[in-house]
Structure 1
């Protein structure tokens, strides 16, 4: 079965869940019409490609794909966030959630469905951009992927995919026996190389996702990890330091134009995501290191909190 047909059938099965798709059939139609019109206008029926940077394709194909990708990534992020909030809920909130029928098995199935949704759309994006490059005999598709990544609508760069990977490992190693837990990912593991951790997962078409879990500021395993919108992960305290804000104010008070300390992309702090599932995974896998960081960070947090309130008191008294 061709992928386009497989993708359409998959998305038709998601209608009840109201999951947006890419409109891959329409995108392929745009490319087909472009090549046909070019051949007809120029009487070149043996030509298989239309011109580089075609105004017809660029004016319709890329905007349509951009809208589709934005809808898919937005939906995936929102649903993954809700799923993980349910999993991490405690006390009365957890009781209410379970009362509504969100049991353990339902969460696992929903997580698996979300991963399938993310991966099949990632494959669809990859294939339609290859089709574009074939039609135009260009590398515009590759340039578009870079643009999509910079706009944070590349689904494989989503911090919530990282969180689902950690969620998968946490379930596999703690709450459900490996023989009974349905797999979200194939070969998803927390690995250590020379004491440095990373999340690795084999996805599709020989694509492997590797997420480095070393903070590039303190050069240690990320503690209380946070992902900036550019996709780079740092310790929360290190990210606050890089953004020139205190731990009391938090990243919400960072300069809207603040730059990532690693890639120097601007405006990356406002949409930062706290990686709670990853934090749980690392705390279980690196217990001695985690306890030591807890002690040292507690001292720093107390110091910053004390300085913050002393400053507030002086400002209030006009000193």
Structure 2
């Protein structure tokens, strides 16, 4: 019962996150006609900073939920002296529900880095995502609020 409810909650979070990211990316990868209207409207307003902020909020949303699920499973294992939480986490990875392994998170990270670099910064400092393109295999790094670093191979 506990794990089925947690799986449902994790699926809802993953669904909400992926649809929000899809919508955000769609706004910034428009068709030719939309590009024309967007470029024309940007003469009057610039929403690039607002979009970068929305990216950051979505990153924080998924990171906080992933940390919460991880802590819930760890506490479950500790209280029940079991490894069922770890097994459940493995199942989440296999079923592509694990939030921090979502391809949408990587897309969002790339969009976040792109917005910050296009705002005139040479590199993203203090943000949740950073990127090292000079390595033999380019890597994007996500630093979570609890100082955990996740690396995504960009090859």
Instruction: Measure how far apart 1:89 and its partner are.
Output: 2.0
Confirm or deny that 1:178 pairs with 2:103.
no
Bigger relative contact order, structure 1 or 2 (CA pairs below 8 A, ≥6 apart): 2
Q: Deviation digits for residues 219-269 of structure 1, max 9, x if unmatched?
A: xxxxxxxxxxxxxxxxxxxxxxxxxxxxxxxxxxxxxxxxxxxxxxxxxxx
Instruction: Measure how far apart 1:96 and its partner are.
Output: 5.8
Decide whether the 8 Å contact of 1:129 with 1:142 is kept in 2.
yes
What pairs with 1:1-319 in structure 2 (closer than 5 Å)?
60-94=1-35, 95=37, 103-174=47-118, 176-178=119-121, 184-185=127-128, 188-193=130-135, 195-214=136-155
Q: Could you say what secondary structure the match of 1:62 adopts?
A: helix
TM-score normalised per structure 1 = 0.43
Are residues 208 and 137 of structure 1, via their aligned partners in 2, closer, same or farther at CA, if it must alter by over 3 Å? same
Runs of 4 or more above 4 Å deviation:
96-99, 181-184
Q: Distance in 2 between matches of 1:183 and 1:107?
A: 17
Are residues 107 and 211 of structure 1, via their aligned partners in 2, closer, same or farther at CA, if it must alter by over 3 Å? same
Instruction: Measure how far apart 1:110 and its partner are.
Output: 1.3
Are residues 171 and 96 of structure 1, via their aligned partners in 2, closer, same or farther at CA, if it must alter by over 3 Å? closer
Supply the RMSD in Å over aligned alpha carbons.
2.5
Instruction: Measure how far apart 1:178 and its partner are.
Output: 3.0
List runs of 5+ in structure 2 lacking aligned partners: none
TM-score normalised per structure 2 = 0.84
List runs of 5+ in structure 1 lacking aligned partners: 1-59, 215-319
Decide whether the 8 Å contact of 1:112 with 1:183 is kept in 2.
no
Are residues 66 and 124 of structure 1, via their aligned partners in 2, closer, same or farther at CA, if it must alter by over 3 Å? same
Q: Distance in 2 between matches of 1:124 and 1:138?
A: 19
Q: Distance in 1 between matches of 2:57 and 2:67?
A: 15
- Indicate the structure (1 or 2) with the bigger Cα radius of gyration: 1
Q: Distance in 1 between matches of 2:143 and 2:133?
A: 13
Q: Distance in 2 between matches of 1:102 and 1:123?
A: 34
Q: Deviation digits for residues 111-154 of structure 1, max 9, x if unmatched?
A: 11111110110111011111111110111111110000111110
Greater helix share, structure number: 2
